Structure 1
Amino acid sequence: MHHTLLPYLTAIDHFIWGPPLLLLLVGTGVYFTFRLGLLQITRLPLALKYLFSGKKSAGEQGDVSSFAALCTALSATIGTGNIVGVATAVKLGGPGALFWMWMAALFGMATKYAECLLAVKYREKVDGKYLGGPMLYLEKGAGQPILAKLFALFTVCVACLGIGTFPQVNAIADAGRLTFGLPPIVIASILAVLVGAVTLGGIQAISSVASKIVPTMTIIYVSACTLVLVNFADQIPAALEQIISSAFTGSAATGGFVGAGIMLAIQSGIARGVFSNESGLGSAPMAAASAQTDSCVKQGLISMVGTFLDTIIICTMTGLALILTGVWSGDSQGAAMTTEAFSLGLSADFAPLLVTTGLMFFAFTTILGWNYYGERCVVYLWGKRAVLPYKLVFIALIFSGVFIQLDMIWLIADIVNGLMAIPNLIGLILLRHVVIEETQLFFNNLKNGAFAKDTL
């Protein structure tokens, strides 16, 4: 079964993630970057200020704080993509893949800003909870109900068959087996129980778990990466040079002619970058829509920080650790490759434990975040009564995820991801004027002192 399906899935994956989608993804980001005047660079300090100020202003409405909403979104984005995805990209596309991840992230920040701004602008209350995201801005803003339903349907598929379940469960099972010697069935059972316990509590429970785990694990993981970088500090300039030069010359571990090497670096860098930071997929807007905020622009700025933290900081650190320690050109793959980099880089016995724990927590919170995204789309498509059946199916899939093979998992995840991005990107293009008008209005008001306490 596995071998008969694989060639078909590979063909579908190459078709969906071919030049048209990559151009649409990056093109949308490039368009917003220049139309909004490099907002992701010039307004990053303001975005960070909003994120950490924590001050509530009058007129804020929402289910959870902006910080908790960002943590929910980050819980879904900071996951195996940062540990396993980076390893897969660098293995496939060589060090140059990291450069293309940066490009995907830089332009992706503008896309993330636009989609989260629209999510807050077009959100509405359903059964006392905010519902928002591409399905609502496609329907209410762009007047495209069919695209809205397609987006919601693909999101449920991503939650159940893509990023939300199999890659994460598989990574946790793998890590648990390598480090603690636990059999997959034990890990599957524990996971299913834990996921069930949290997700049945809804957005408040998910965001409260996410707001505790995500910042803590991120700090621990980034500190460990920093130690590796400090130990190899003298080699960092050479590694950066290698990343930039191989981005344009191609030096993939898999060989092949130069042009193919560059294309592979671009394709794996961008596809994995998007898998990791989810800019343009339309997932983060669903978490942003639940944020307590008085301005869609403000929430857009806060959400944009997610892509910066996820890819520019965390993925870069993982990538550098892989390149500096030289494991990228070795035999290891996935999580084992990152574990090996930490073992070499930290020359400590606890290194594998660190990667495993990081991976387990990141993957666990990703499952929670995606469970929430799927639920929002289930509510949109079939109403509140469908939530419980959805959650039960989701928990059953978590349990079965440990028994599916890795190559198949990444292919399925990539395919449904790509399908989800298409309607969302069409929506962003159709509503580009709304994004630009709202942004100009907000910054004009800011300049004229309309919100006295917010001025820089």
Structure 2
Amino acid sequence: MNELNNFLSVVDGYIGGSQWFVFLLLGTGLFFTFYLRFPQFRYLRHSIRIVRGKFDRKGDEGDTSHFQALTTALSGTVGTGNIAGVALAIHLGGPAALFWMLVTAALGMTTKFVEVTLSHKYREKAEDGSIAGGPMYYMRKRMNIQLKNKKVIQTGKVMGALFAFATIFSSFGTGSLPQINSISNSLFETFGINHILTGAVLSVLLGLVIIGGIKRIAKVTSKLVPIMAIIYFLGAIAVISFNYQNIIPSLMAIVGDVFTGTAAAGGFLGGSIAFAFNRGVNRGLFSNEAGQGSAPIAHAAARAHEHVSEGLVALLEPFIDTIIICMLTGLVLLSSGVWKEKLPNRFQETDLVALAGQYTEEDNTEREKLFEFLSGETTLPLFSGSLEVADGTIINPPTILHSRSVAENIKVWSNNNPFSGTISFNSGKLVSQAGLSLSGNSLLHSAPLTTVAFTRSWMGDYGKYIVSIGLLLFAFSTTISWSYYGDRAVTYLFGIKGIVFYRILYVLGFFLASFTDTTIVWTLSGITIALMTIPNLIGILSLHKEMKNEVKLFWKEWYEHFPGKNTPGL
């Protein structure tokens, strides 16, 4: 597992975790924001009116309403990224990472507007009569290169196939694996429910829902999304108001640390400007999926006579998902202070590393060395060898890091009983033994961190139930939506005959991920996100003139139908 995670981390470092990917993503959003004259602000009010159905026409072709398409796409984005992803971003980069998540969302509103409009324009009917759409369709039709001799190079067909394959993999890496992984971890921490039992029960429910296709999926998500949003919102407000004295300092840290990096605090060893920027943008994309090309697949099924109108509906998603919900989560984490506290937890092997020698956070020089080591700027000698353990306590332990912090009060367990004997490390990594585990005090990240934060209010320990229930609803609805994205990609590549095999594999992967290591799942997710995003961004940038023309035609037609009305597009 460690070797696999290390390999995936190297791959992710060259694509999703690299600076050029971040600049491509933000640069695309920034370009369209200026090119289309800030549509995310000018058209926001009009987007809400479209969702309410004020401009619907009878006879519009599609499988879902504007609201159902919005909630389906939102259910695909509102998930672990809002609960676990925000916590991971702050854990890695400090408060400034939240700032970059919000910037990504603001620019992502425009990106999503563009990608949904173009995908809705080039949607098709599948063999079974259902609507099929997404970036792969506009790529196939509009991305081919015509030479001077009129010969056509089928680059669009290749890009469409690449995107579709990436979508299938990403449906596992984004929609299936990390969602159930976070659900099972949260339910285990809160209720003590076995990971495998959680995976088995939810796998059956998932199978029952996705068999019904987009219409059943839309009905389920249109009910789940409002319920889960209200529950989570009320719980978050309770925590923030309880810690009201920390609201202003938290907001100041979000903005102030952007230009200075986050200084060491508590168990947090520090966060650089570059790392906060990279992780904030990366987690922002995972949260709202703007530019990834997933939401256009759901919106392609919407009943709309104008492609731009559906793009305006999609414009709301990053605003709701990241600017509202992720900001709430971020303020919960920062105002409660749990992001820099060492808390009791069971250690995960992929987050664990033993150093040769003793280091302390109290010494500024040694703390700086630890920070540079965790940031990949320098190396430190790793521990290899055996350690004696007596009644769960390691005799003469080296410095052990867990979750980017110096672990304390370490205990060794064998099948939940104090262990006595010998444990071994090889190049800093624990040599696995059946039933062997370590626990102690260290920083937390992902869903467990948010779970603890929700207990810091008048609700006390009951607050963790809100996270568990919210995460269950958020993540499960995301899994449902991503199954649809995957089966549309399968339809594009293999026809409707391949859908049944895909759904079986999807549910099976969902079950297996319920008891798979969290870190590996998140690393895989970052890779699959990038593999979808890159061809989609290249595609929408190449069609920028067509997009601008679509917007002009939309507002011209709108003015002809509603003369005298306030028209934000003209």
Aligned match of 1:243: 254
Q: Residue 83 of structure 2 aligns with which residue?
A: 83
1:450 has 2:561 as partner: yes
Shift in CA distance, 176/250, structure 1 to aligned 2, threshold 3 Å: same
Query: 1:208 — aligned with what?
Result: 219
2:137 maps to 136
* Residue 92 (str. 1) matches residue 92 (str. 2): yes
Give the gaps of 5 or more residues in structure 1: none
In structure 2, how many angstroms separate the alpha carbons of the residues matched to 1:294 and 1:32? 23
**CA displacement at 1:231 relative to structure 2:** 2.4
Partner of 1:319: 330
Equivalent residue for 1:186?
197
> How big is each residue's C-alpha offset from its partner over 1:342-361, in whole Å with a ceiling of 9 and x where there is no partner?
11034433211110000011
Whether the 8 Å CA contact 1:321–1:345 is kept in 2: the answer is no
Per-residue deviation, 1:59? 4.7
Q: Which moved more, 1:348-357 or 1:412-421?
A: 348-357
User: 1:116 offset after TM fit, Å?
Assistant: 0.4
- C-alpha deviation, 1:383, in angstroms: 0.1
| Residue in structure 1 matched with residue 507 of structure 2 by the alignment | 395
CA offsets 1:283-323 (integer angstroms, 9 cap, x no match)? 00000100011111111010110110000000000001100
Q: 1:180 to 1:54 in 2, by over 3 A?
A: farther
* Rg (Cα) greater in structure: 2
The question of whether the paired residues in 1 share the 8 Å contact of 2:177 and 2:510 is answered with yes
Match of 1:310 in 2: 321
CA distance in 1: counterparts of 2:4 and 2:192, whole angstroms: 31
After superposition, the C-alpha distances for 1:182-212 in whole angstroms (9 at most, x for unaligned) are: 1111111101100000000100111110000
Contact 1:276–1:310 (CA under 8 A) maintained in structure 2: yes
Higher-helix-fraction structure: 1
Give 1:336's aligned residue: 448
Extract unaligned runs of 5+ from structure 2.
145-155, 342-442
Counterpart-to-counterpart distance in 1, 2:235 and 2:52: 24
Q: Distance in 1 between matches of 2:105 and 2:314?
A: 13
Amino acid at match of 1:5: L
The percent identity for this pair of structures is 40
- Asked if structure 1 preserves the Cα contact closer than 8 Å seen for 2:53 and 2:66, the reply is no
Secondary structure at 1:164 match in 2: helix
- Residue 454 of structure 2 aligns to a residue whose secondary structure is helix
Q: Which residue is equivalent to 2:182? A: 171
- The AA in structure 1 aligned to 2:281 is I
Describe the SS at the equivalent of 1:70: helix
Deviations 1:17-65 (A, max 9, x none): 2111111111110011001111101111111121124653245221110
Structure 1 letter corresponding to 2:111: T
Note the 1:26-425 alignment, pairs <5 A: 26-53=26-53, 56-127=56-127, 128-143=129-144, 144-160=156-172, 162-251=173-262, 254-255=268-269, 261-330=272-341, 331-425=443-537
Deviations 1:348-397 (A, max 9, x none): 33211110000011110010010000000000000000000110111111
Report the equivalent of 1:10: 9
Change (3 A) 1:27 1:181: same
Kept in 2, the 8 Å contact 1:87–1:335? The answer is yes
Contact 2:184 2:515 in 1 (8 A): no
Structure-1 separation of matches of 2:555 and 2:239: 41
**C-alpha distance in 2 between matches for 1:223 and 1:255:** 32
Is the Cα contact below 8 Å between 1:255 and 1:261 reproduced in 2? no
More deviation in 71-80 or 53-62? 53-62
Residue identity in the other structure for 2:550: E
> Scaled by the length of structure 2, what TM-score is found?
0.77
Moved more, 175-184 or 54-63: 54-63
Looking at secondary structure, tell me which structure has more strand per residue.
Answer: 2
Structure 1 position 255, deviation (Å): 3.5
What is the DSSP-based 3-state SS (H/G/I as helix, E as strand, rest coil) of the residue aligned with 1:248? coil
User: C-alpha separation between the residues in 2 aligned to 1:282 and 1:11?
Assistant: 24
Q: Give the direction of change, closer, same or farther, for the CA distance of 1:375–1:451 in structure 2 (3 Å limit).
A: farther
Q: Distance in 1 between matches of 2:143 and 2:297?
A: 17
2:397 matched to which residue of 1? none
Superposition pairs of residues 423-442 of structure 1, within 5 angstroms: 423-442=535-554
Larger deviation, residues 362-371 vs 337-346: 337-346
Task: Note if contact 1:297-1:438 (Cα within 8 Å) is conserved in structure 2.
Answer: yes
Per-residue CA deviation, residues 399-421 of structure 1 (Å, 9 max, x unaligned), is: 11122111111100100111110
Kept in 2: contact 1:252–1:265 (CA 8 A): no
8 Å CA contact 1:80–1:359 kept in 2: the answer is yes
SS of aligned partner of 1:345: coil
Tell me the CA shift for residue 453 of structure 1.
Answer: 9.9
Count of residues paired in the alignment: 450
Structure 1 stretch 173-182 or stretch 386-395: which is displaced more? 173-182
Q: Deviations over 1:152-209 (max 9, x none)?
A: 000000112x011111011111111112211111111101100000000100111110
Kept in 1, the 8 Å contact 2:11–2:527? The answer is yes
What's the TM-score, normalizing by structure 1? 0.96
What is the aligned partner in structure 1 of residue 348 from structure 2?
Answer: none
The separation in 1 between residues aligned to 2:228 and 2:257, in whole angstroms, is 31
Partners of 1:411 and 1:235 in 2: CA distance? 32
Contact 1:156/1:374, CA 8 A, preserved across alignment:
yes
Is contact 1:77-1:366 (8 Å) kept? Answer: yes
How far 1:454 moved relative to its partner?
Answer: 7.4
CA distance in 1, matches of 2:212, 2:118: 27
**Higher normalized contact order (CA 8 Å, seq sep 6+, divided by chain length):** 1
Aligned amino acid, residue 107 of structure 1 = L
Distance change in 2, residues 1:453/1:364 (3 Å): farther
Q: Tell me the distance in 2 between the aligned counterparts of 1:225 and 1:307.
A: 19
Residues 201-210 or 228-237, more deviating? 228-237
CA distance, structure 2, for counterparts of residue 230 and residue 177 of structure 1: 28
Tell me the amino acid that sits aligned with residue 164 of structure 2: A
Pair 366,353 (structure 1): closer, same or farther in 2 beyond 3 Å: same
Letter of the 1:297 counterpart: V
CA distance in 1, matches of 2:218, 2:130: 14
Residue 141 of structure 1 deviates from its aligned partner by 2.3
The aligned amino acid for 1:355 is: V
For residues 186 and 163 of structure 1, the distance between their equivalents in structure 2, rounded to whole angstroms, comes to 22
In 2, the alpha carbon distance for the partners of 1:111 and 1:64 equals: 22
| 1:21 paired to 2:21 | yes
- Separation of aligned partners in 1, 2:452 and 2:522: 21
